[in-house]
Amino acid sequence: MPEKIICGRCGFVFYEGHDLVPPEVIAKKYDYRCPRCSSPLKLKPLTIKIELGSNKRR
Ligand SMILES: [Zn+2]
């Protein structure tokens, strides 16, 4: 199940992959700021979106 963490404001993709990475790790990696829209990444309230979806690959 792939995980996708995107900016809740502009949709910038911070992380996309099959490993489940906690959003705080991602936020820290980007210095708590979105590189595209400069929106601060807050965890409370959460300003980033986490999408989990089934990715069926053959
Ligand atoms: Zn953004």
Residue 14 lies in a domain: yes
Residue 20 Cα to ligand 1 middle (Å): 21
23 pLDDT band, cuts 50/70/90, is confident
Residue 6 Cα to ligand 1 middle (Å): 8
Residue 58 lies in a domain: no
Q: Is the pLDDT of residue 57 over 70?
A: no
Residue 38 Cα to ligand 1 middle (Å): 6
Residue 58 Cα to ligand 1 middle (Å): 33
pLDDT of amino acid 54: 67
Residue 17 Cα to ligand 1 middle (Å): 19
Side by side, which strands form the sheet with 13-17? 13-17, 3-7, 48-52
Per residue in 25-55, pLDDT tens? 988 999 999 999 999 988 777 778 888 876 6
Question: Which tokens go with 12?
Answer: 């910038």
Q: Which residues have a Cβ under 8 Å from the Cβ of 41 and sit 6 or more positions away? A: 7, 26, 27, 30, 32, 33, 34, 47, 48
What values do phi and psi take at 14, rounded to 5? -80, -40
pLDDT of amino acid 55: 61
Per the structure, the complete domain to which residue 22 belongs is given by 3-52
The total number of structural domains that make up the chain: 1
